[in-house]
């Protein structure tokens, strides 16, 4: 589809970065936000508080007019997961039935305990896919090289759209495991909180690498239980995203873990943040899913205990470090 109109729903750091990336490569992009006052500010200042030091091109179209959604050929959904169902009710009447919807938000919906793709498929006739990978928004916005996984159940559609959306600085690889790609992107945020605690407690690189490897196995077990392929943990959306997020304090979730390890309260940490830290809510859903499916998930359980069971970081880390199975692979 030549010169397809790409509408990106969500003006946070990731939505703005994707809009800039595609726009700067010559694509026809509209960045849509639901709050007119924020959209007006972006249009006037050409600067986002979510992406400090980044200038939004003057000719990148930004709007809050829902009628613009009706002209979309491709929709990228980048609204926060916990706000998405309410927002979908607001805009779904304007979404063309032929437009593929690509979910770029990472997390699990709290009330339904489901990935957004499941909920969107139930609400709309559109093909629904997922874009996920090792991507920091600021680097994408600044045109640094990166890659990601695009999954649709229809692999041919995934291939077609990956070719259409990729450009020199942003490579996109097709996949057909929507469940696996979406869960990997959501669950790595939970693991990143644990990784931040390891960093904050200065437990060393050996411990961090062990955490990432063992948590990858937990993610694999949850993906399999929910109908995805455990092999997806070996993709850009799996191990690629997990390594990136768990190895850098640039990650909101990792920096949250570091702050918790240093003794800050969750309330104080969140009080100083603009961006949503999706791993907090996802940790609750992931723990409940692991419990329901009787999945051994000590890392996810540890993060849940710190965030929701009011257990101390030191006590939880001692328990986690003493956890030992007889064999590595099941």
Among residues 21, 14, 88, 20, the alpha carbon closest in space to that of 56 is found at 20
DSSP 236: I
Q: Can you tell me whether residue 109 is helix, strand or coil?
A: strand
Please say whether the dihedral angle defined by the alpha carbons of residues 250, 25, 73 and 51, taken in this order, is positive or negative: positive
Complete DSSP assignment for 159-228? HHHHHHH-BTTEEEEEES-HHHHHHHHHHHHHHHHHHHHHHHTT--HHHHHHHHHHHHHHHHHHHHHTT-
CA 164 – CA 60 distance, rounded (Å): 19
CA 16 – CA 93 distance, rounded (Å): 24
CA 46 – CA 60 distance, rounded (Å): 9
Q: Is 188 a catalytic residue?
A: yes
CA 8 – CA 158 distance, rounded (Å): 18
**Helix or strand holding residue 34 (H, E):** none
Strand partners of residue 263 = none
- List the catalytic residue out of 114, 188, 230, 294: 188
Residues 6 or more apart whose Cβ sits within 8 Å of residue 99: 72, 73, 74, 75, 126
Among residues 180, 178, 194, the alpha carbon closest in space to that of 287 is found at 194
The CA-atom distances, in angstroms, between 13 and each of 18, 79, 167, 230 are: 9, 10, 20, 30
The CA-atom distances, in angstroms, between 38 and each of 49, 56, 64, 222 are: 10, 14, 9, 38
Catalytic residues: 188
């Amino acid at each position: 589809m030549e010169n397809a109109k790409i509408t990106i729903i969500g003006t946070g750091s990731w939505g703005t970065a994707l809009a800039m990336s595609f726009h700067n490569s010559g694509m026809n992009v509209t960045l849509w936000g639901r709050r007119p006052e924020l959209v007006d500010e972006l249009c006037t200042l050409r600067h986002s508080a979510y992406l400090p030091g980044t200038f939004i091109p003057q000719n990148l179209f930004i709007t809050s007019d829902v009628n613009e959604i009706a002209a979309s050929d491709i929709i990228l959904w980048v609204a926060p997961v916990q706000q998405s169902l309410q927002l979908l009710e607001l805009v779904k009447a304007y979404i063309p039935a032929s437009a593929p919807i690509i979910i770029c938000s990472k997390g699990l919906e709290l009330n339904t305990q489901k990935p957004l793709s499941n909920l969107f498929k139930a609400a709309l006739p559109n093909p629904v896919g997922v874009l996920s990978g090792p991507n920091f928004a600021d680097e994408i916005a600044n045109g640094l090289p990166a890659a990601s996984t695009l999954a649709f159940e229809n692999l041919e559609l995934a291939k077609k759209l990956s070719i259409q959306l990729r450009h020199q600085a942003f490579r996109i690889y097709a996949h057909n495991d929507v469940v696996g790609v979406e869960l990997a992107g959501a669950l790595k945020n939970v693991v990143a909180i644990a990784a931040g605690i390891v960093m904050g407690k200065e437990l060393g690189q050996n411990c961090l690498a062990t955490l990432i490897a063992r948590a990858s196995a937990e993610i694999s077990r949850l993906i399999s239980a929910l109908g995805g392929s455990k092999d997806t943990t070996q993709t850009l959306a799996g191990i690629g995203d997990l390594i990136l997020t768990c190895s850098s304090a640039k990650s909101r979730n990792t920096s949250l873990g570091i702050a918790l390890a240093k003794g800050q309260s969750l309330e104080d940490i969140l009080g100083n943040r603009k961006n949503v830290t999706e791993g907090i809510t996802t940790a609750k859903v992931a723990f409940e899913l692991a419990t329901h499916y009787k999945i051994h998930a000590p890392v996810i359980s540890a993060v849940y205990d710190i965030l929701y069971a009011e257990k101390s970081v030191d006590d939880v880390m001692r328990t986690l470090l003493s956890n030992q199975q007889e064999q590595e692979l099941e």
